[in-house]
Structure 1
Amino acid sequence: MKKQFQFKLIEGKFEPLEAGKVLYSLIKTKVNYHSLEKYGSEFKFNRDFQHSKRRQETLIEASDYIRMLIKEAEEKDLELLINGIIQIEVRPKAKTDGAI
């Protein structure tokens, strides 16, 4: 009963500054999401939420790398081609044995 879907969220040619706005907006939204997840987990359950912390770090690294690409594109008068595809799979939940 597995179903898969694919959507193009971003597709096109962008000037460096436009690309930055689009990409930083996506990254900022994801970083904020993980900040809230981490905070909520620590506050509600008094435990560290390592997944969100690692995702935040990965997203910040990606943002730094994108910043370098955009700077280079600006300096060399280049455009950026961006194809952002999201894939979604709907499937039954994995069964666990109850162990933590």
Structure 2
Amino acid sequence: MNRIENLTLIDGNFSEVEAREILIPIFSSKINFHKIKNWSSQERYGEDDEIAQKRIPKLKNEIEKLQKILSEAKAKNKRLLVSSQINISLIDN
């Protein structure tokens, strides 16, 4: 596959509550994935997974930014236009 496949994950206009219900679980799931990956590395090899250790704080920071945006939307009684695409291509190992 030399091409990039684009998948639309989110594309819509949401209330603060709806956006919270959609977006927080996505970030939380990614954090959980990296926590499990790190735990697995610790159990198998006795050391942290470097990628997981770097991604977890970055994802937590993104949740903090998201919380601020959601709070602002709620305070200003605004809706949120959210779009998210996933780009996939095959690469060599």
TM-score grouping bracket, smaller chain normalisation: over 0.9
RMSD of equivalent CA atoms = 1.0
Pairwise CA distance, 1:53:
1.3
Distance 1:88 1:46 in 2: 32
User: Which structure has the greater CA radius of gyration?
Assistant: 1
Question: What is the CA-CA distance between 1:3 and the residue it aligns to?
Answer: 3.0
Runs of 4+ in structure 1 deviating by more than 4 angstroms, as ranges, are: none
Between 1:84-93 and 1:57-66, the stretch displaced more is 84-93
Q: What runs of 5+ residues in structure 1 fail to find an aligned partner?
A: 94-100
**TM-score if structure 2 supplies the norm length?**
0.95
1:87 partnered with 2:87 = yes
| 1:70 lines up with 2:70 in the alignment | yes
1:22 equivalent in structure 2: 22
Once residues 79 and 2 of structure 1 are traced to their aligned partners in structure 2, the CA distance between those partners, rounded to angstroms, is 38
1:48 maps to 2:48:
yes
Structure-2 separation of matches of 1:79 and 1:18: 9
Cα contact 1:3–1:91 (8 A) shared by 2: no
Distance of 2:92 and 2:70 partners within structure 1: 41
Q: Point out where structure 2 has 5 or more consecutive residues left out of the alignment.
A: none
Same amino acid, percent of matched pairs: 24
